[in-house]
Chains A and B, each alone.
Chain A
Amino acid sequence: MTHPATTTPRAGRRGIRIPGTGSVARLLLAGGLSLVVVVVAGVQLGAVDLTWSQVWSGLTGDSSQHVQRVVFELRLPRTLTGALIGVHFALSGWLLQLLSRNPLAEAGILGISAGASLVAVVAFIIGDWVVSSADPYNNTSFALQYLPLFAMAGGLVTALAVYFLGMRHGQLSPVKMTLTGAVIAGMLHALTTGALAFWGHAHTELVAQWLAGSLYGSQWQHLRTLLPWTAIGLVGVALLVRPLEVMQLDDQHVRTLGLGLNRWRAFALLIATLLAASAVGVVGPVGFIGLLIPHISRRLAGANLPVQLVLCVLLGAVLAVLADLLGRTLFTPYEVPVGVVSAVLGVPFFLYLLSRQP
């Protein structure tokens, strides 16, 4: 693991160093600035590129109806929703990787997203059947508010199953957990496809788009649905930082340091699942952000968990907004879902990281 360049060691007895406070500040500043840049670009660029003054007048409500609609009703909510789901998936992956001591853990790989998707799709189909209008892209429908709840129920059941099946002799086995997760994810994907083929005729296209992980049609309603879960997730993650530092050690070592391991692991799993599943409920399963961003953050921050955490928040948002921006501008008027773009962008980068690992 490399440390940010120019880490000047602060020797001396007073206060254990924060490794190169200056370079940490620079890292966070760079992350914050890139987030601002992609958000502004997300609002400015699209099928119709806007000028700075148009964006500004659009935001202040001091412009033509058309510009205001594009900025305020289409691009801004979509970009911000994108930023939030990036934060959700990145933090969820970060927690899962730490709690299972497994660099490959992520909501998608462990089947949590697949469980969330299955229950959400079934709920959507049933809702459609009952109410006849459960279009998730229609903000007047009942479905949007409840889809995250259904998704979370599905995600939690899957997470618990993978967790308990991943135990060996009363200890969590990272390898067994990953294998179990992969197999369960495969089964749930098959069930989702089956459910769709059986009952989904009327909305197959819509649901298929949702399953690819898309920000298409994201509105303020989506943002409002997501925001409480973001808040809960952030508070949970902040509470978990110090226990997580200790939980990286061997299970028995952790216990002799006085940490209630099972309790804290269960809490970390709960928060990771809520974060991932709520995002799945709103925009569908978006993969790779949860795998990539924690890795990049670890590379940049070293073993400093609080810095890793903040970088996950910033870079997760950046990657999601950027992937969505590329998805909707590269092939206008066609759109490539954010989940597809983040995978296409992310995988080569990930392979590059792996090849450089000692």
Chain B
Amino acid sequence: MLRTEHLSLAYGDKPVVNNVSLAIPEGGITCLLGPNGSGKSTLLKSFAGLLSARSGQVYLDDRPVEQWDRSKLALRLAMLPQKPIVPDGIQVQNLVALGRFPHRKWWQRNLTTDNNATFEAMAMTGVSELAERPVEALSGGQQQRVWIAMALAQETDILLLDEPTTFLDWGYQLEVLELLSTLNREHGLTVVMSLHDLNQAAQFADRIAVLAGGQLDTIGSPREVITEPLINRVFRVQTSVTLGRDGRPFCSGFSESARGNPPASESSPVHATAQSETG
């Protein structure tokens, strides 16, 4: 299980995350929420052992991730960066097969078991028909499914995603989140991701951690976390939170400075209609 204890992180002299203690539930979906610069991405990177802690520690199975051998860690924990780089001209199946790297010694080519895992990952994410297509030629939503397939081919029990919906249009955002939710339900994958959309987090997460100014503000179930006072405090937005038919909270907000004007971004009424269709 993944958890942090009094974790503080910094880039050089600039502190980014301050004294965060939290536990990631096994087999659940955890969302990190917070305004820009609140430390969501930094915290995710530290989960993957990509940053060393200034103080405190990240633990995987009660062992500090910094002490894990990188190749062993890669068998437990996969990460999808916010803007992954597509190798020049690579085909879908070959990109997905890169996820098998930690399962082989560095000089070995992939074996049949690796190919099976690759095909299975493509089937689970619905990209099998795209196997021979160059990744560059795919739509944003298809590319994101391919990247998730690569992470699945890694066959880890934990998947970390840094804002997996940010560069997608709204339809693809839901598609990706639903895919992650299915993988979580059917394969017991532990998902940890940072998101910007409160309502998407409320709809898909089992647990939400809200960061503000590098500190953990609140952690709990969507109903415990998505409340009017919290959103006002952390995002400086006046909202009204209602409960949907599925029992999950839903908020519509108005920026404090522009109260009365039509809302701009994250929680527009458009979401509301589609939300009730899908939810």
Contact-residue size bin, chain A (C-beta under 8 Å from the other chain): 20 to 34
Q: Which of B99-116 contact A (CB under 8 A)?
A: 99, 101-102, 106-110, 112, 115-116
Contact indicator B106/A17 (Cβ below 8 Å): no
For the A-B complex, the count of residue pairs with Cβ-Cβ distances under 8 Å equals 99
**Closest CB of chain B to A266's CB: distance in Å?**
15
In the complex, are the beta carbons of A15 and B101 less than 8 A apart? no
Query: Contact at A250–B110, with CB atoms within 8 Å?
Result: no
A240 to B71 Cα, complex, angstroms: 17
The answer to whether B85 touches A303, judged by C-beta atoms less than 8 angstroms apart, is no
A236 in contact (CB, < 8 A): no
- With contacts A13-B119, A246-B98, A256-B48 taken as known, whether A1 is within 8 angstroms of B83 at the C-beta atoms is no
**Contact between chains at A242 and B107 (CB < 8 Å):** yes
Q: Which residue of A lies closest to B137 (CB)?
A: A1
Are the C-beta atoms of A239 and B90 separated by less than 8 Å? no
Q: Which residues of B have CB within 8 Å of A242?
A: 101, 106-109
Q: Which residues of A contact B97 (CB under 8 A)?
A: 16
- Knowing A9-B132, A246-B98, the reply to whether A256 touches B89 (Cβ < 8 A) is no
CA distance A169 to B45 in the complex (A): 15
Contact check: which of B70, B75, B101, B107 meets A239 at CB < 8 Å? B107
What residue in chain B is nearest A264 (Cβ atoms)? Answer: B106
Instruction: A101 to B118: give the CA distance in the assembly, Å.
Output: 25
CB distance from B97 to the nearest CB of A (A): 6
Cα of A1 to Cα of B109 in the assembled complex, Å: 24
Does A127 make an interface contact (CB < 8 A)?
no
A252 interface hit (Cβ, 8 Å) = yes
B88/A303 in contact, CB under 8 A: yes
Which one of A3, A256, A259 contacts B79 once the chains associate, using CB atoms below 8 Å? A256
Docked CA distance A245–B99 (Å):
11
Where chain B touches its partner, the secondary structure class is: mixed
Docked-complex contact B70 and A255, CB < 8 angstroms: yes
Majority secondary structure of chain A interface residues (helix, strand, loop or mixed): loop
Does A302 interact with chain B (Cβ within 8 Å)?
yes
Cβ-based interface call for B50 (8 A): yes
- In the complex, the answer to whether A256 meets B78 with C-beta atoms within 8 Å is yes
Q: What residues on A are CB-neighbors of B94 within 8 Å? A: 16, 303
| A252 to B42 Cα, complex, angstroms | 12
Q: Is B181 at the interface (CB under 8 A from chain A)?
A: no
- Assess the A257–B119 pair: CB atoms within 8 A: no
> Could you tell me if A260 and B70 are in contact, using CB atoms closer than 8 angstroms?
yes
Chain B min CB distance to A217 (Å):
40
Residues of chain B with a CB closer than 8 A to A298's CB: 88-89
What residue in chain A is nearest B83 (Cβ atoms)? Answer: A250
Asked if A19 is at the interface (CB within 8 A of a chain B CB), the reply is yes
**Which residues of A1-54 have CB atoms within 8 Å of chain B's CB atoms?**
1, 3, 9, 11, 13-17, 19
Is the CB–CB distance between A258 and B79 below 8 Å? no
B116 contact set on A, CB distance < 8 A: 13
Given contacts A242-B107, A252-B81, A298-B89, are A257 and B50 in contact (CB under 8 A)?
no
**When A242-B109, A253-B85, A258-B101 are in contact, do A17 and B93 touch as well, CB less than 8 Å?**
yes
User: Does B74 reach chain A (CB closer than 8 Å)?
Assistant: yes
Q: Kindly list chain B residues whose C-beta atoms are within 8 Å of the C-beta of A260.
A: 70
Q: Which residues of A (232-248) have their CB < 8 Å from a CB of B?
A: 239, 242-243, 245-246, 248
Q: Whose C-beta in chain A lies nearest to the C-beta of B45?
A: A252
Nearest CB in chain A to that of B109: its residue: A242
Question: Would A15 and B77 count as touching, CB distance under 8 A?
Answer: no
A residues in contact with B78, CB < 8 Å: 256
Q: Quick one: which of A254-302 are within 8 Å of B by CB?
A: 255-260, 298, 302
Q: Establish whether residues B88 and A1, one from each chain, have CB atoms under 8 Å apart when the complex forms.
A: yes
Within the assembled complex, what's the spacing in Å between the Cα atoms of A302 and B134?
Answer: 10
What chain B residues lie within 8 Å of A19 (beta carbons)? 91, 132
* B165 at the A interface (CB under 8 A): no
Question: Does A167 interact with chain B (Cβ within 8 Å)?
Answer: no
CA distance A239 to B84 in the complex (A): 25
- Identify B50's interface contact among A9, A13, A255, CB under 8 A: A255
The complex places the Cα of A243 from the Cα of B98 at a distance, in Å, of 10
**Which chain B residues lie closer than 8 Å to A16 at the CB level?**
93-94, 97, 110, 115, 118
Q: Does A157 contact B (CB under 8 A)?
A: no
Whether a CB of chain A sits under 8 angstroms from the CB of B154 is: yes
Determine whether the beta carbon of A258 is less than 8 Å from that of B73: yes
Is there an interface contact between B106 and A243, defined as CB atoms closer than 8 Å?
yes
- Indicate if A345 sits at the interface (CB-CB under 8 A): no
Q: Provide the residues of chain A in CB contact with B11, threshold 8 Å.
A: 169
- Interface pair B70/A258, CB less than 8 Å apart: yes
Nearest residue, chain B, Cβ from A247: B87
- Proximity bits, A171-200, B CB within 8 Å = 1, else 0: 000000000000000000000000000000
Query: A257–B91 contact, CB under 8 A?
Result: no
Pick the contact of B134: A1, A11, A169 (CB < 8 A).
A1
* Minimum C-beta distance from B10 to chain A (A): 13
8 A Cβ contacts from A302-325 to B: 302-303
Task: Tell me whether A259 and B85 are in contact (CB under 8 A).
Answer: no
Give me the interface of B with A, judged by CB distance under 8 Å.
11, 45, 48-50, 70-75, 77-81, 83-85, 87-91, 93-94, 97-99, 101-102, 106-110, 112, 115-116, 118-119, 131-132, 134, 136, 154
- A/B interface sample: 5 pairs, CB < 8 A: A9-B132, A242-B107, A248-B88, A257-B154, A260-B70
Q: Rank and list the top 9 A-B pairs by shortest CB-CB distance, nearest first.
A: A1-B89, A258-B74, A248-B87, A258-B71, A258-B102, A303-B90, A256-B79, A303-B89, A9-B132
